[in-house]
Structure 1
Amino acid sequence: MEKILVATQKPFASEAIKKIKEITDREGYELSLLEKYSTAEELKTAVADAEALIVRSDKVTAEVIEAAKNLKIVVRAGAGYDNLDLDACSAKGIVAMNTPGQNSNAVAELAFGMMVYMARNKFNGTAGTELRGKTLGIHAYGNVGKYVAQIARGFGMEVFAFDPFVPAEKIKNDGITPVKTVEELYQTCQYVSLHIPANEQTKKSIKASLLELMPSGAVLVNTARKEVIDEESLALLMEKRTDFTYISDIAPDNKSLFEEKFSDRCFFTPKKMGAQTAEANINAGVAAANQIIKFFKTGDETYRVNK
């Protein structure tokens, strides 16, 4: 009987664990839980005899992989997977997967919640602005980007998107205007919502030289990863442009500097909250369990992210 380990420093909701257990019991797999652990050693010990591993934002390092002698598959319950050492997984013949789309609506709703909050001056009683009629750029038109675009259209915003990996016709069919370059997106849109992954090509790619192209009253919304922002460059830009606002679900490393200098033009959630809804929590956990079962039973590798 294969053992599936769910290892989460921030545990799944109890309903998610209940559903995961129903799946594993029905299919004849052993389920083991490691919740609220505090050290990598605890994870290494727990994963030593597991054939499958489900994590959230937990770090699956080369050391963890080395300790997992029987591991065949690891699934990150969520879209981003930069917490998985893909090279280490590949070297050991371990399949690494994510669960794209399961958290998308939750992240999109958070992005808009933050936009409304800042447009209305953090609800401080003063007159704010409206989103209707404003231009919104979607930087990367994946699962989250599509949901953000749908919500934006409901708000009456004019929506543009840049994604070199998505055909322009597909974007047009959703009622969104595609643009050919990232520079055109930033030049055109007062609001830009970031949905790019953090990798060697994108880290620190969002910098002043790009952001300064944005029109007056610019607002950058980041529900992706903090690593894609050139924080030093952004801070310098915000000193120069007093009309620029930065909203993020991931507090920057120099958070105190931003809050000290630009307190009325920045907002950061207390912790990464994009996927923090009951629905997303359950959806991602259940999807991870189902993907593991399919992999064991049929060899399905649909959502594999390593080579």
Structure 2
Amino acid sequence: MKIAVLDDYADAFRTAPAFARLSEHEVTVFRDTEKEPEALIARLAGMEALVLTQQRSPLPAAVIERLPRLRFIMETGRHTGHIAIDACTRQGVVVSTGGAGGPDATAELTWGLILAALRHIPEEARRLREGQWQAIAGTGLKGRTLGIYAYGRIGAMVARVGAAFGMRVLCWGREGSLQRARDDGYEVAANREALFAESDVLSLHIVLNDATRGIVTAADLARMKPGALLVNTSRAPIIAPGALLAALEAGRPGRAAVDVFDDEPVLGASDPLIGLPNILCTPHLGYATRGVFDALYEVAVDRLLAFAAGAPVDVANPGAAKG
């Protein structure tokens, strides 16, 4: 098969242990994202299989329908909203999903962002390189309130670390997750408004879907303390468009740390959030560890070889597989 690996910014696919198993196939790795449809069609012309690194590249019907040789798409995550599944089925393109990896990497990065933002680590490290000494008083964690919006696997890990630091952990989300938080010994906010108003650090771990898009509103952010920190390692569109930028400019919350943006990848520092003095931004590093990439691509190779053998697994559109 002629296989294209998309959006492998770290060039992790070719160094993954599983790569050697594709020695009988022709593999091309793209280390950037191409969103312009005509350019993407030209890039993928002649390809029979695609490996998508998470949800970085959208594949609309207008692209799928102009790739006549394409027969298989491997999505390394579980979400397929960025793929025109119906068009794939019509074209006989089988879509398989992965989902290897766990919450650990994102939970770790969440705490990296919290500590770096509250202790001003990037600023102070830069000053030291410039020949200066400490200039900013940091903020400690003990006794402060850590808000967890959505107590799922990642939220639970972040909560445990907060408790270890001596923080009050305050949770909000769907009733099922709140019961799990109670069972684990954490406090549940009196209501949604209280979560935003009382949190000194508020960490968002909300899965993005139609129901949660824009769920964090400008009014929510306006309830936060001037000294509070908002952290988003989930997905940018869970916050209403423009709301975080306006909130940070208004000083409520006083700071933010984000790993996700509305339009990724962000090149040329083009997102207006990056220019603000009271935000710490990272380029979607949440799951970007060697171990996670190896696991994602191990599953991807399994799926590729299963399809090549005529027995695709974890198929998102069984109608295409039957065809």
Q: Partner letter of residue 266 of structure 1?
A: I
How many residue pairs get aligned? The number is 295
Counterpart for residue 244 of structure 2: 234
Quick check: 1:82–1:198 contact (8 Å CA) kept in 2?
A: no
Quick check: 2:113–2:257 contact (8 Å CA) kept in 1?
A: yes
Distance in structure 2 (CA, Å) of the matches to 1:150 and 1:54? 35
Measured at CA, do residues 243 and 189 of structure 1 come closer, stay the same or move farther in structure 2, by a change above 3 Å? closer
Q: Say whether 1:21 aligns with 2:19.
A: yes
Distance in structure 2 (CA, Å) of the matches to 1:228 and 1:306? 30
What is the alpha-carbon root mean square deviation over aligned residues? 3.7
Quick check: 2:74–2:96 contact (8 Å CA) kept in 1?
A: yes
Structure 2, unpaired ranges of 5+? 125-133, 264-268
Counterpart for residue 112 of structure 1: 111
Out of 52, 55, 62, the residue aligned to residue 55 of structure 1 is 52
Measured at CA, do residues 40 and 199 of structure 1 come closer, stay the same or move farther in structure 2, by a change above 3 Å? same
**Structural mapping, 1:157-168, within 5 Å:** 157-164=167-174, 166-168=176-178
Per-residue CA deviations over 1:90-127 (Å, capped at 9, x if unaligned) read 55565545444616322222221111111012453221
Structure 1 residue 178: Cα displacement: 4.4
Counterpart for residue 268 of structure 1: 281
Q: Partner letter of residue 112 of structure 2?
A: G
Counterpart for residue 66 of structure 1: 65
Structure 1 residue 12: Cα displacement: 5.7
Quick check: 2:44–2:67 contact (8 Å CA) kept in 1?
A: yes
Paired-residue identity, %: 23
Distance in structure 2 (CA, Å) of the matches to 1:305 and 1:138? 35
Q: Say whether 1:153 aligns with 2:168.
A: no
Structure 1, unpaired ranges of 5+? none
Counterpart for residue 201 of structure 1: 211
Q: Give the TM-score normalised by the residue count of structure 2.
A: 0.73
Structure possessing the higher radius of gyration over alpha carbons? 2
Q: Give the TM-score normalised by the residue count of structure 1.
A: 0.76
**Structural mapping, 1:119-198, within 5 Å:** 119-122=118-121, 123-124=123-124, 125=134, 126-164=136-174, 166-179=176-189, 182-198=192-208
Secondary structure of 1:301's match? coil
Structure 1 residue 10: Cα displacement: 2.6
Distance in structure 2 (CA, Å) of the matches to 1:212 and 1:306? 46
Distance in structure 2 (CA, Å) of the matches to 1:164 and 1:222? 18
Counterpart for residue 278 of structure 1: 290
Farther off after superposition, 288-297 or 214-223: 288-297
